[in-house]
Amino acid sequence: MTLKKSWVASANDANHPFPLNNLPYGVFSTEGSDPRCGVAIGDMILDVTTAEAEGIIALSDVPLFDVPFWNELMEEGPAVWAALRERLVALLAEGAAEQDKVESLLVPMEKAELHMPFAVSEYTDFYAGRNHAFNVGTMFRGPENALPPNWLHIPIGYNGRASSVVVSGTDIRRPWGQLKSPDHDLPAFLPCRRFDIELEMGAIVGTPSNGPITVQEADDHIFGYVLLNDWSARDIQAWEYQPLGPFQAKATATSISPWIVTKAALEPFRCDTPAREFELLDHLKDRGPMLYDIELEVTMAPEGKDATTIARTNYKEMYYSAAQQLAHHTTSGCPMNAGDLLGSGTISGATKPERGSLLELSWGGKEPLTLDTGETRSFIEDGDTLTLKGAAKGDGYTIGFGGCSGTVLPALDNPYEK
């Protein structure tokens, strides 16, 4: 597929993240206005809420965009998702007959504030990147015991906090928690000292289900994808995770990028999961290419200073696809809802520059990073801004997600002080 030309000139730049091929969904506001649904096209945002109110977009007998989130569209199902995309292309393509109706509905992106693009129903985070799991397991158990016995057979996950999922640009407060240093007999309640990120992709469930679904059905149920940063308090995690896994170490915040890139926009970039040591059971077997070739990177910027790229990797490194994760999630009969968010797990490549967390990049703090500013980091310091970026590169066009950023604020002196 090549670049689709739009009458919005900025959308025709081969390196712009929001061409007509993309059309990601978000929620925005301008000065003095309430948040509303919008679609990114070049440097502009199409006000979809107003377009529906004026009858330019009509997909249902009831309004779908009179609320500041995209869940209402999700619940309509894949046929309506496809109809909206077809209508948007018709309105924004070069030579569109209705250009004059749409021009007044475009808002410059620089004048807009971006909000959470959907209401998160529930949130599950997985541990499905092989290189990350091997690296972390090697640090704590040695290479011979790095992967748990079940890891190569099922996607491991835990249920996280939907209430703490925030949009890019939201500041992140360093958490307090119960820590125990190896040289102390008892734990103490202190601010986190080993705060970290995890570079992930988030899959958004669009079609609800009630009972087990197949991998192919799961793929059909996914509405779109966002970048996802699973902020992690490693010292809290080290003390609490046995025997039931992550809890408070992962509850502080999860940041997502502001634009939902639809599965339809990513179709040209499908690729297979990696080769496997063991054949998966039938209910989890791959049903064609279900990963995506999406280039990813992480930057770190100390307060008031330029950013350094600290990692580059690719979503195709995942061992399990989002469809396999979703299918596995339903095997117990667990209902899934429109707006459920599935974190992929940390995405790391085979080499050090491809590691998607500071825990791996600094090898547990033993090998500090040197930033372009000359400063060193083992974990995140107060004032640091971490940004995830992602893009799929096509023939003369780019499918981007917008950045996923957060700045870490100092821990409160007294977390219970109101």
> Catalytic amino acids?
132
| CB of 371 closer than 8 Å to CB of 308 | yes
The beta strands (E) that lie in 286-381 are given as 291-292, 295-301, 308-314, 341-343, 369-370, 376-377
DSSP single-letter state for residue 141? H
Closest CA to 89 of 150, 174, 198, 11: 11
Element (H, E) at 158: strand 157-159
Half-sphere exposure of residue 306: CA atoms within 13 angstroms, side-chain side: 6
Peptide bond between residue 335 and the one before it cis (omega within 30 degrees of 0): no
Q: Characterize the bridge pairing of strands 176-179 and 188-191.
A: antiparallel
Beta bridge partners of 41: 44
Residues in the chain: 418
Residue with tokens 């995770």: 241
Q: Kindly provide the b/e burial profile for residues 323-344, where b requires at least 16 CB atoms within 10 angstroms of the residue's own CB.
A: bbbbbbbbeeebebbbbbbbbb
Main-chain phi, psi angles of 373, to 5 degrees: -75, -10
Residue 277 near residue 152, CB atoms below 8 Å? yes
Do 156 and 147 touch, CB atoms closer than 8 A?
A: no
| Residue 92 structure tokens | 């924004």
Rounded to whole angstroms, the Cα distance separating 395 from 397 reads 6
Asked whether 370 and 353 are in contact (CB, 8 A), the reply is: no
Angle at 264 between CA 158 and CA 66, to 5 degrees: 80
- Tokens representing residue 75 in the block: 């619940």
168-204 core/surface letters (b: 16 or more CB in 10 A; e: else): bbeebebbbbebeeeeeeeeeeebbbbbbbbbbbbbb
Question: Are 203 and 225 within 8 A, CB to CB?
Answer: yes
**CA nearest to 231, candidates 197, 256, 199:** 197
